[in-house]
Amino acid sequence: MQQKLKSLYRNGEAQSAKLHSKKYGLVSEHTSLIVLEDVADYVKYRIQPPSSLQAAYAEQLEKELQWEKKTKKDRLEAVCMSFKENYAHWKDAPDRRDMPLEKYRKMVQKAPDTMAAGMELMEEVEEVAIEEQEMDTGHEALAEHKKRVQKKEDPIAKAPKIRIQAWTSNASYMQELDGLGKDQLYAAYLKHKTKYKDQPGFYFDMGNYMMQQGQKEQAFTIWSNMIEQDSNHNEYKRSLAKTLMQYGYADYAVSLLEDMLQSRAFEPQTYYDMGLAYLADKQYQKALDSWFHILEFPWDSEVILRFPWIENIVLADINALITAHRKELDIRHIPPCLQAPMPVDIRIVIDWNTDNTDIDLWVTDPLEETCSYRNRHSYLGGFLSNDITQGYGPEAFWLKHAPKGTYSIRVHLYANHQQKLMGNTSVRAMVYTHFGSKKQQMQYLSLQLNTKEKGDYLVGDIVF
Q: What is the pLDDT of residues 309-339, one digit of tens each?
A: 899 999 999 999 999 999 999 999 999 999 9
- Asked whether the predicted pLDDT for residue 428 surpasses 80, the reply is yes
Give the model's pLDDT for residue 5.
62
Backbone angles phi, psi at 333, to 5 degrees: -90, -5
Please compute the mean of the pLDDT values over residues 95-100 and round it to a whole number: 84
pTM above 0.85, yes or no: no
Please compute the mean of the pLDDT values over residues 77-90 and round it to a whole number: 94
- Asked whether the predicted pLDDT for residue 143 surpasses 50, the reply is no
Grade residue 153 by pLDDT with cuts at 50, 70 and 90.
very low
Grade residue 33 by pLDDT with cuts at 50, 70 and 90.
low
Whether residue 349 contacts residue 394, with contact meaning beta carbons closer than 8 Å, is answered with yes
Highest mean predicted confidence (pLDDT) among 254-268, 292-306, 315-329: 315-329
Grade residue 118 by pLDDT with cuts at 50, 70 and 90.
very low
Grade residue 257 by pLDDT with cuts at 50, 70 and 90.
very high
- Asked whether the predicted pLDDT for residue 342 surpasses 70, the reply is yes
The lowest-confidence range among 74-83, 173-182, 400-409, 412-421 is 412-421
Mean of the per-residue pLDDT values for the chain? 81
- 352-403 pLDDT per residue, tens: 887 777 788 999 999 999 999 899 999 999 999 987 767 777 999 999 999 9
- Asked whether the predicted pLDDT for residue 137 surpasses 60, the reply is no
